[in-house]
């Protein structure tokens, strides 16, 4: 019974993730980071993490009737679960116990525990793994700072970030890392054959940081968040020193101004 459920999960997991398609509702999101998008939107539905969260739910329910037996032979549920965890940033410390390095999260299936809470732990660690995959990519924005020196990963407010993304197409573009600055476009757009900044009277290279946070000709001077995930993507981090709503409204203005300058 359990093995059948595991195999079913494995079949789902090995098929292409439901979040692998490109978002095209606005017609402008063409280069979103699949890993940023998965981290923000995929925790409850991405097939890769569904596999592990279903398994931890099965184990937690089993545990109510008997102690779990560690059988790490190929094809066993424990083996499948352990393999998945090890390939997603977890380290096994004992039978049915794992630690997650980036987040400090722990799983201990030797004692009774709430299945939902454990599934939440698995999803949260999986989001960190997604961000690590983004960092391992060759994208120009791969230098995330959320794990440095203790990091602020655990302070990311995923719900508030999803709400921001849902507010308009510019916000969703920002959240998924699909913003193209003039510098990133490299002057290859016929309507904007230049890499220069979009603001009037500025001829400097139009990198995202320049356009949003450094240009002396920008129309508004909003304080820049210390967290890269906020200054670049508008993600919400709890206990920030900046007014994130103000930052988000400014980033939307930047995104829309880039679209206006480059495509109209
Ligand atoms: Zn400028």
Domain boundary among the residues 115, 139, 163 is at: 139
Q: How far apart are the CA of 209 and the centre of ligand 1, in A? A: 10
> Structurally, how many domains does the chain consist of?
2
165 and 115 in a single domain? The answer is no
- Separation CA 193–CA 32 (nearest Å): 22
State pLDDT tens for residues 18-34.
Answer: 333 333 444 444 588 99
Same structural domain, 159 and 243: yes
Residue 120 or 20, more confident: 120
Ligand 1 center to residue 171 CA distance, Å?
A: 22
216 Cα–ligand 1 center, Å: 6
**Predicted confidence band at 46 (pLDDT cuts at 50, 70, 90)?**
confident
Query: Residue 91's beta-bridge partner residues?
Result: 99
Ion ligand 1: residues, Cβ under 5 Å:
197, 199, 202, 204, 215
Does residue 127 sit in the same domain as residue 6? yes
Q: 126 and 9 in one domain?
A: yes
Which tokens sit at 223?
Answer: 């304080």
Mean pLDDT of 40-60: 90
Q: Are 198 and 262 in contact (CB under 8 A)?
A: yes
Buried b vs exposed e over 106-121: b needs ≥16 C-beta within 10 Å? Answer: ebebeeebebeebbeb
Given a contact cutoff of 8 angstroms between Cβ atoms, the answer to whether 204 and 210 are in contact is: yes
Are 133 and 181 found together in one domain? no
Say how many Å lie between the CA of residue 28 and the centre of ligand 1.
23
Q: Is the pLDDT of residue 106 over 70?
A: yes
Ligand 1 centroid from CA 90, angstroms: 44
Note whether 82 and 178 are same-domain residues: no
What is the whole-number distance in angstroms between the Cα of residue 211 and the centre of ligand 1? 6
Judged against a pLDDT cut of 50, whether residue 206 lies above it is answered with: yes
Which domain, by its residues, includes 63? 2-24+31-139
Q: Supply the pTM of this predicted model.
A: 0.86
Structural domain contains residue 107 = yes
Residues 110 and 239 in one domain: no
Per-residue pLDDT averaged across 183-192, rounded? 90
Q: Say whether pLDDT at 179 is over 90.
A: yes
Last residue of a domain, one of 139, 164, 192: 139
11 and 111 share one domain: yes
* Mean pLDDT (whole number) for 73-98: 94
49 and 100, same structural domain? yes
d(CA 256, CA 104): 38
Model confidence at 11, pLDDT cuts 50, 70, 90, reads very low
Q: How far apart are CA 125 and CA 105, in angstroms?
A: 7
With bands split at pLDDT 50, 70 and 90, how would you rate the model's confidence at 72?
Answer: confident
**The pLDDT of residue 148:** 80
Residue 148, in any domain of the structure = no
Nearby residues of 207 by Cβ (< 8 Å), 6 or more positions away = 181, 183, 184
Pair of tokens at residue 225: 């968040």
- Which contacts (CB < 8 Å, 24+ apart) does range 75-82 have? 75/3, 76/3, 77/2, 77/3, 77/6, 80/6, 80/9, 80/10, 80/55, 81/52, 81/55, 81/56
pLDDT tens sequence across 136-160: 999 989 999 999 877 899 999 999 9
- Domain end, chosen from 84, 117, 139, is at 139
In a domain? residue 247 = yes
More confident residue, 248 or 48: 248
Assign residue 151 a region: left if phi > 0, alpha if psi is -120 to 50, beta otherwise? Answer: left
| % of the chain exceeding 70 in pLDDT | 89
Please state, in angstroms and rounded to a whole number, the distance separating the CA atoms of residues 76 and 84. Answer: 12
């Amino acid at each position: 019974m359990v093995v059948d459920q595991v195999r079913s999960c494995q079949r789902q997991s090995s098929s292409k993730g439901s979040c692998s398609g490109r978002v095209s509702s606005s017609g402008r999101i063409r280069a979103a980071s699949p890993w940023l998008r998965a981290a923000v939107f995929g925790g409850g539905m991405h097939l890769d993490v569904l596999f592990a969260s279903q398994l931890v739910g099965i184990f937690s329910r089993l545990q109510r009737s008997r102690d779990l037996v560690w059988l790490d032979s190929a094809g066993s549920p424990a083996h499948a679960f352990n393999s998945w965890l090890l390939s997603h940033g977890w380290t096994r410390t004992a039978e049915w116990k794992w630690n997650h390095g980036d987040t400090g999260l722990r799983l201990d299936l030797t004692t009774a525990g709430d299945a939902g809470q454990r599934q939440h732990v698995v999803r949260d660690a999986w989001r960190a793994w997604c961000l690590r995959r983004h960092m391992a990519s060759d994208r120009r924005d791969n230098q995330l700072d959320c794990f440095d020196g203790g990091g602020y990963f655990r302070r990311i407010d995923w719900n508030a970030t999803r709400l921001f993304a849902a507010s308009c197409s510019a916000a969703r573009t920002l959240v998924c890392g699909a913003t193209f600055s003039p510098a990133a476009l490299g002057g290859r757009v016929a309507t904007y054959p230049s890499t220069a900044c979009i603001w009037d009277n500025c001829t400097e290279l139009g990198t995202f940081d320049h356009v949003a946070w450094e240009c002396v000709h920008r129309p508004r001077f909003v304080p820049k968040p210390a967290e890269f995930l906020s200054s670049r993507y508008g993600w919400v981090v709890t206990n920030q020193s900046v007014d994130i709503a103000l930052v988000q409204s400014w980033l939307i203005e930047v995104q829309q101004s880039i679209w206006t300058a480059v495509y109209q």
